[in-house]
Structure 1
Amino acid sequence: MPPVPPSDPSHLTRRRALALGGGALLGAAAGVSGFALPAQARTDSSLARAFEIAADAHGVPRDLLVAVGHAETRLTQHDGPSQARGYGIMHLVSNPQHRTLAEAASLTGRAPGKLRTDPAANIDGAAAVLRAYADDAGFSRAARADLGAWYPVVARYSGAANGYVARFYADGVYESLWTGASASGVILDPQPVEPDRGAVLTTRSDVGVLTADYPPALWAAAHSSNYTVSNRPSSYPINYVVIHMMQGTYAGSISWFQNPSSNVSAHYCIRSSDGQVTQMVRHKDYAWHAGNSTYNRQSIGIEHEGYFDQASWYTEAMYRSSAALTRHVCDMYGIPKTRSRIIGHNQASSTPCPGQIWDWTRYMNYVTGDGGGEVVWSTIVDNGSAGFSAGPSWETSSYSSQRYGDNYHFNTPEPVSDAAWFSATLPEAGTHRVEVWYPANSGYNDRTPYVVATSSGNQTVQVNQRTGGGAWRSVGTFSMTAGAKQVVGVSRWTSGGGYVIADAVRISRLA
């Protein structure tokens, strides 16, 4: 039987984690929503305390509240505004179609200015909004204690009119619950929560068809009032690629570009965690992204998830995915792969975007293919070779013609330590490039964790196995020690939906 599973793993039997606070209540009385920390007390420990008190005051699971903050801002205060006009750790939003800031002000009695700039007030305001949404959904006390049941409430908090984008957002929050987080003195322990995704409906029209512009990309159209219909390159030559940072999240930016009041768009958005690409404007049309009409007419705009001042968003997966897209665009239109043609937003108009953290040397090396150095040794480990090992729960299939070799292994996502491992004998210590091969299918996992054994410990890179299959795909370069060892594992521990696939890896020592 070919492995084409449902895209949602909710059919699996998993325990649902319960949480109502994650710590002492620290004297907060139930029902009290007026807590605010003074500005001079904004230490790491006070931020953790603010989450506990707000969660208790509004009957919202503390861990869910932290996960929302981590997915939005990595628990970092942003007085704002973000691209979507959002503020603070919890990204309370004020735009014509998404008004969580105003809702929080009404529910808590606080001034919008306080909610924008005071971290504890911002957290408490978000908790009040989430609780109001739960009440609207008819949640009982038992439902409020079930982290998985909050999935549709979290999707609503995103403000996305498009169901597919709302699920993008909610999946990001639940990814934080699954993997855990530690930031700004706030600790979120990993929890294998089963989200109630079935309560958030999507349709085929939410996604649309893939485009010939860049086949690996998903498609979610920007609102027609946010870009100019054209016939490029006949009407205008395409001479540039413009790099942006979103000052916000992947789902939030997609939703903002679909908001008719935003008057802004980009051709592509790229997710930080795994490099997933969503196209929003066709190449033939020009997006409104550069703040300069000349560059808008002659460029492709690429937005990257994250904030200028937070290095945690600038992942290897995002750099690699973006560089592959830029290389494709340059090859398609004959654009020279130089810094005079691949530019930052700041080179087109007055803005700090994409910020000082953006590593142009690294990025351009990936675009030109010079980022890895010369290969001095390489080995391929297939799932049928002696270097592969997997437990009895892993099955094999030859269903997809995109497979490497005779077949590939597959398994269901579960919060268990049951990885399939690719082992090799590395002759020398040094920098190694890891590439993976897998067949792609819409029923496969969109966040498959590849665990790489580096000299400083295991590192995990998430790969969307629904696209980009049937070819070698780099997941990064890593420092590794010499010797015989397990080098790359495919983990089952993911909040993504669909089968995880273990097919083949290529490990190359670089000069």
Structure 2
Amino acid sequence: MNRKTVVLLSAVTAALLVSPAVSAQAAVSNDAALQARLDAEEARLQPQRQALQGYFRQAYARYPTIPVGTLEAIAYVQTRWMDLQPDPKRMQGERHGHMPAAYGPMGLYAGEGFADQVTEGARLLGATPERVRRDARLNVLAAAALLDREIRSDTPAIRAGRQVRRPESIRPALMRYAGFAPAQAAADGEIANYARTSFAYDVLLAQDRGVDDRGIKVPERPIEWEQAFDMAQLVKLRAPFVRLDVANDRIETADYAIDPVTETLKDKAPARATASADGDGPDMGTMSTDYGPALWVASPYHHARSSYSSVTIHTAQGSYGGTISWFQSNPYSVSAHYVIRSSDGQVTQMVRNSRAAHHVGVHNNTTLGIEHEGYVNNSSWYTTAMYNSSAALVRNFCGKYSAITCANAYDGPAHNGVVVLSTAIDVKGHQHYSSQTHTDPGINWNWGRYYDLLNPGGGGGGTTILDSFEGSVGHFNTSPTYSGSTTGISTASSASRTCTTRRNGNCSLRVLLKDNSASSANWAVRLLSGTGSPGSNAPLTRAGGSVGFWVYAGGSGMSVGLGIDDSDGTERSVTRSLAANSWTYVSWSLTDAGQWNAWVGGNGAITAATVKLDAVWLYRAQTAYDVNVYIDDVQINH
């Protein structure tokens, strides 16, 4: 792929233009350096994450009111299981922009505009705030004590000594536990409530999907979403109803129905959801009118802008819900146009495109700002879903505003500090502007990968690996039974990264299929890519392209296929039979209509210039035996 040559400018030097060959060599070197950092980070965090599992067990023993899995999910939502110890010097230099600092593996706040969870948790434990900040075990126990108090305050059964069994029932307690700023006035209450609702939803979502990645383990536990939120909230949150058999058990009322492609609850009257989203009112959770896939939650911090000439990439130094809350009420008048969630790429817009958000100082009037959930020193936040969702948003900007060109995005090595880039670079980081102290998105942001997502198919040939499973499960971060379209297998089935069996590199995706003994249905497994949401998947260019992967079936009778999200719906491929106990490369041409059948809303052919991979389908006649299937190097070839 031909990448744009980038000119870096600093206060004392101007970099030289380099040849395409040198640029390609630099890209390879950048990728290798980033992978080395990621490997080192994983090795460093493994012992911490292993110790955390013991601390969680201790906390559940001490506070049995808390449903098992909840603490792991909170730690995942707040810190990705990393012991946060903010640098006081860095905090002092960047305090004006970032949300309140969080501490320990549970990400407890210590005031500064949010609740002082550290001090209150320490009081409940009889410990000092400093120990709760610094001691990971006490940090977990303090979080458990705070949550236990909230659960007991509104659950009579708990006060009588009985245990809560279902995590859905503690949704109100989770919202109060979140620690965000309290509502300042009645008009602000609904908006602030949305941030707390988002936090509770994220905690339940982590349990619903389960997490088993790089030492982080959140037990998978199906969530009964309709027991936790009302229908209107579920639409706003884009909540998954994937535990339902959408073919036979469709939820449908006069106002709501299940979308069989994304398997989320949809409002049948979208005009009702967008009617009030004019950009300046106290609306919350409605559809954005600037960017269709986004939710709209207003921030009060914005002013008139003069032009559009660039896009600024930020890392929030905080969670998704916390960032939304902070942009609604903070003493520094900071905001950004959009906030993106790490786990699934959900987008919330907070300032209309036509207004200037307060995110990059003297450059506010000419740049659109995107905050990405997470912390610069933990690469776990920069997920495939986040990169894809963010790139889709920026491609929308490039198509809408002539002064912003995706081909002029930065495509060089990641930086640790402030490195000022030329004004000719249209898409770059907060750290790349003049007059800045912030250093986000930092050393772990993969600019080469991001550039390729902004400019799909730019090279006109070659192979693009969508998922290699070397560092993570990539797009395939849900279990085989997560889709309501899956039949025949039990919820004990799993999908996880393994480094013992692989075709290329060091690792692959292991899909363990277990029969559902209560069903005689044949196995049809919709192994979702990007959790089934088209916005979370990488764009695939149709022209001359084929999509394929390496697959190893540990048993006979298996066949595979693909689902592709096209402009008119979703198409399913014809199937390919697999030989047992050997690696096979399977692929499907995007231009051959004979290889595709209509599924949901489709026409039996790939017609759009750019499409998305919906799922890998796995098929077998019903059997009582377990079957392992390994998938490696999911790719598109031009």
SS in 2 for 1:140: helix
Distance of 1:114 and 1:482 partners within structure 2: 50
Percent identity for Structure 1 against Structure 2: 31
Q: 1:151 to 1:288 in 2, by over 3 A?
A: same
Secondary structure of the structure 2 residue equivalent to 1:307: coil
Does the alignment pair 1:133 with 2:133? no
- Residue 217 of structure 1 is aligned with which of 294, 300, 312? 294
Over the aligned positions, Cα root-mean-square deviation in angstroms equals 4.1
CA distance in 2, matches of 1:120, 1:258: 32
2:315 pairs with 1:239: no
Q: Could you tell me which amino acid in structure 1 is paired with residue 51 of structure 2?
A: S
Alpha-carbon distance in 1 for matches of 2:356, 2:455? 25
Q: How far apart in 2 are the matches of 1:299 and 1:272?
A: 23
**Residues 373 and 270 of structure 1: is their aligned pair in 2 closer, same or farther, counting only changes over 3 Å?**
farther
Displacement after TM superposition at 1:237 (Å): 1.8
Matched, 1:50 2:177: no
Q: What is the TM-score when the length of structure 2 is the normalising length?
A: 0.53
2:385 corresponds to 1:317: yes
Distance 1:473 1:70, change over 3 A: closer
C-alpha contact 1:317 1:461 (8 A) present in aligned 2 = yes
Flag structure 2 segments of 5+ consecutive residues without an equivalent: 1-46, 92-97, 184-191, 237-272, 274-281, 411-424, 465-482, 494-502, 505-523, 553-557, 565-598, 614-634
The answer on whether the counterparts of 1:84 and 1:253 sit within 8 Å (CA) in structure 2 is: no
Distance 1:415 1:112 in 2: 48
SS at match of 1:144: coil
Residues 199-232 of structure 1, C-alpha deviations (whole Å, 9 max, x = no match):
899597652653442232210011x2xx2321x3
Say yes or no: does 1:510 pair with 2:637: yes
Aligned to 1:85: 101
- What residue number does 1:486 align with? 560
Q: Is the 8 A contact 2:456 2:539 kept in 1?
A: no
Match of 1:474 in 2: 539
Paired amino acid for 2:108: L
Which of 431, 436, 440 is equivalent to 1:353?
440
TM-score (norm 1): 0.65
Query: CA offset at residue 367 of structure 1?
Result: 1.5
Q: Distance in 1 between matches of 2:156 and 2:215?
A: 31
What is aligned with 1:284? 354
Task: Classify the secondary structure of the residue corresponding to 1:75.
Answer: coil
Please state how far the C-alpha of 1:302 moved relative to its aligned partner.
0.5
Structure 1 residues 175 and 112, CA gap change in structure 2 (3 angstroms):
same
**1:481, CA displacement in angstroms?**
2.8
Given residue 474 of structure 1, which amino acid in structure 2 is its aligned partner? P
Match of 1:229 in 2: 303
Q: CA deviation at 1:128?
A: 0.8
CA contact (8 A) 2:113 2:330 kept: no
Alignment-derived partner of residue 261 in structure 1: 331
Letter of the 1:110 counterpart = A
Indicate yes or no: 2:497 matched with 1:462: no
Is residue 198 from structure 1 mapped to residue 236 from structure 2 by the alignment?
A: no
Q: Which amino acid aligns with 2:85?
A: D
Deviation by residue 1:362-407 (Cα, 9 ceiling, x = unmatched): 1112213346854899xxxxxxxxxxxxxxxxxxxxxxxxxxxxxx
Deviation, 1:264, is: 1.6
The answer as to whether partners of 1:373 and 1:510 remain within 8 angstroms in 2 is no
1:70 maps to which residue? 76
* 1:79-118 alignment, distance < 5 Å: 79-80=85-86, 83-93=99-109, 94-118=111-135
**Separation in structure 1 between the aligned mates of residue 488 and residue 315 of structure 2, nearest angstrom:** 33
Question: Contact 2:167/2:204 (CA < 8 Å) preserved in 1?
Answer: no
Structure 2 vs 1, CA of residues 126 and 184 (structure 1 numbering), >3 Å: closer, same or farther?
A: farther
Q: Which residue of 2 aligns with 1:189?
A: 219
Verify: 1:366 aligned to 2:453, yes or no. Answer: yes
Distance (whole Å) between structure 1 residues aligned to residue 147 and residue 452 of structure 2 = 44
AA matched with 2:204: Y
Q: CA deviation at 1:176?
A: 1.9
State how far apart, in whole Å, the 1-side matches of 2:107 and 2:322 are: 10
Distance in 1 (CA, whole Å) between partners of 2:293 and 2:131 is 43
Partner of 1:332: 400
Maintained 8 Å contact 1:376/1:510:
yes
Q: Distance in 1 between matches of 2:119 and 2:487?
A: 39
| Aligned equivalents of 2:216, 2:293: Cα separation in 1 | 36
Deviation at 1:124, TM superposition (A): 0.8
- The correspondence of residues 166-185 of structure 1 with structure 2, limited to 5 A, is 166-182=196-212
C-alpha distance in structure 2 between counterparts of 1:333 and 1:149, whole Å: 46
Contact 1:229 1:284 (C-alpha < 8 Å) held by counterparts: no
Residue deviations 1:17-47, cap 9 Å, x none? xxxxxxxxxxxxxxxxxxxxxxxxx755432
Sort the Cα spacing of 1:183 and 1:315 in 2 relative to 1 into closer, same or farther, 3 A: closer
Q: Deviations over 1:72-93 (max 9, x none)?
A: 2121111137733222211111
Task: Check 1:179–1:211 CA distance in 2 against 1; reply closer, same or farther (3 A cut).
Answer: closer
Deviation readout 1:431-467 (Å, 9 max, x if unpaired):
xxxxxxxxxxxxxxxxxxx988xxxxx67422447x8
Match of 2:261 in 1: none
Whether contact under 8 Å (2:453, 2:538) holds in the other structure is no
Task: Go from structure 1 to structure 2 and tell me whether the alpha carbon gap of 1:451 and 1:282 turns closer, same or farther (over 3 Å shift).
Answer: farther
Unmatched runs of 5 consecutive residues or more in structure 1: 1-41, 378-408, 420-428, 431-449, 453-457, 491-500
Deviation sequence 1:211-263 (CA, Å, 0-9, x none): 442232210011x2xx2321x3xxx2221100011222222211111123353
- Write the distance in 1 (CA, Å) between the matches of 2:146 and 2:165: 17
- Contact 1:165 1:255 (8 Å CA) reproduced: yes
Match of 1:192, SS? coil
State the distance in 1 between where 2:487 and 2:374 align: 27
**1:321-470 equivalence runs, <5 A:** 321-334=389-402, 335-337=404-406, 338=408, 339=410, 340-348=425-433, 349-370=436-457, 373-374=460-461, 460-464=529-533
Alpha-carbon distance in 2 for matches of 1:347, 1:473: 26
Q: Confirm or deny: 8 A CA contact 2:548 2:636 kept in the other structure.
A: no
Q: CA deviation at 1:130?
A: 0.2
What residue identity is the alignment partner of 1:213?
Answer: D
2:172 is the counterpart of 1:152? yes
Deviation at 1:359, TM superposition (A): 1.1
Matching residue of 1:387: none
Q: Could you tell me how far 1:336 is from its partner in structure 2?
A: 3.0
Contact 1:83–1:248 (CA under 8 A) maintained in structure 2? yes
Deviation at 1:353, TM superposition (A): 0.6
Matched letter for residue 462 of structure 1: T
Name the aligned partner's letter for residue 560 of structure 2: Q
Measure the CA separation in 2 of the matches of 1:126 and 1:105. 9
Bigger Rg, which one = 2
- Deviates most, 161-170 or 472-481: 472-481
Q: 2:320 touches 2:341 (CA, 8 Å); kept in 1?
A: yes
Contact 1:268 1:277 in 2 (8 A): yes
Residues 285 and 296 in structure 2, CA contact (< 8 A), matched pair in contact too? yes
How far is the alpha carbon of 1:299 from its aligned partner? 0.6
Is contact 2:336–2:370 with CA below 8 Å preserved after alignment?
A: yes
Cα distance in 2 for partners of 1:152, 1:371 equals 48
SS at match of 2:229: helix
Choose from 371, 374, 381 the match for 1:306.
Answer: 374
